[in-house]
Structure 1
């Protein structure tokens, strides 16, 4: 473990599958660096809007005001929802916003945590948010406390635990699956390596019709093959 990992707060989360994951909570310095990079991005866009507005005339002033509003309030919300909790600044700094239990943030949590930035900013330059982050072990500002979110360090490359299952091959599911069922199988595939062999087989047995007629390791391997197939489909869809 390197020095940075020792200094950062480790938040241990117990998952419903019976395993534990560690979230490395980001401190105020890392978060301030990400905020400054996002500020530079927003400022650059704002300058472009200002130049365009000066050319257009009176209508350009209205365009500038609307653009400034959207940049200030919706820029972080949209990126956090659609980019795995990462604005450009957070991504550059290796940070992401997640729920307290490690789940990706949705519209509600992103809206709450970013709307309350106005309070965190008081009385000047996020003083209230900084003080609040020092008063709790998770380093949360008021927006994070209200939304139930954390800002954590993430790996430089996405975690692909499924790579450990390439030896089992790939298999299409025997019948169409709902989106929720697909996500559940993918989640199992990504976390199976973190479970004990007995627990991994026990969880696989809950797949029901997908492993009909199979048991033990055979059932687990079929579920992993289906997970590999689904992950391949999702990767192809994201690259198209």
Structure 2
């Protein structure tokens, strides 16, 4: 289980090439693990949104044909609104996701993990003109491929990031055992590892629990308990349970 062995970077640190998780701490001091979305899912989301916008524009243009010049003016105005404000409205009012992004399980956030606001959303979408250069979003694609968090130019300037939206599956249940106070203060990475182990304990076989528990022998072999139960006891203590 990677949570017991992976070194957790400091909040705000750039992810490594093999681990694109971005740990952030919100202004409310809530720790999040953001997973930036790569070029392919972002491109597919864009194509879905483009198809939706095109469908709306074609339908409206057909319906306005009878109005001749006035109808053409309305169609042009609609095209302008759909092209430049469609993404902004959905990103700000739709919890960071246009219909295309929602279909791919993506959303836009500030790079500190907070919901995107009007200014940054407008900035990132207006700069699609720069990302389009010299043709077919070449600059934007190259920026996504070269950036460690797959950001296009608009994201870099606006301070935003496109991430996978985490599904709300409810809080994991940590098995209740007798809490064990650690013999010495534990650093943040070790506390995360312990709680992560305890959250997944119910999904593991007993043999697998013991195997993973052996990865943390320094947490005290003097308690006279099985290693897995010892870790569960420490985790119970860390989340505030007391005997």
Please classify the TM superposition score into its range, dividing by the shorter chain length.
0.5 to 0.7
Aligned to 1:95: 106
Aligned to 1:34: 45
2:91 equivalent to 1:80: yes
CA 149–54 in structure 1, closer or farther in 2 if over 3 Å, else same: same
Which of structures 1 and 2 has the bigger CA Rg? 2
SS at match of 1:57: helix
Q: Does structure 1 conserve the Cα–Cα contact (< 8 Å) formed by 2:39 and 2:150? A: yes
Give, in whole Å, the separation in 2 of the partners of 1:44 and 1:89: 14
Q: Which runs of 5+ in 2 are unaligned?
A: 3-16, 174-198, 200-234
What is the root-mean-square deviation of aligned Cα atoms in Å? 2.9
Which one has more relative contact order, counting CA pairs under 8 Å at least 6 apart?
Answer: 2
**Corresponding residue of 2:149:** 138
**Cα distance, 1:14–1:113 mapped onto 2, change above 3 Å:** same
Q: Are 1:55 and 2:55 an aligned pair?
A: no
Report the TM-score, using the length of structure 1 for normalisation: 0.62
Corresponding residue for 1:109? 120
Check the 8 A contact 2:26/2:114 in 1, yes or no. Answer: no
The Cα of 1:133 is off from its aligned counterpart by: 1.5
Q: Quote how far apart the aligned CAs of 1:55 are.
A: 1.8
Question: Which structure is higher in helix share?
Answer: 1
C-alpha distance after superposition, 1:89-114 (max 9, x if no partner): 00000000001011000101100000
**In 2 relative to 1, CA 8–75 (structure 1 residues): closer, same or farther, beyond 3 Å?**
farther
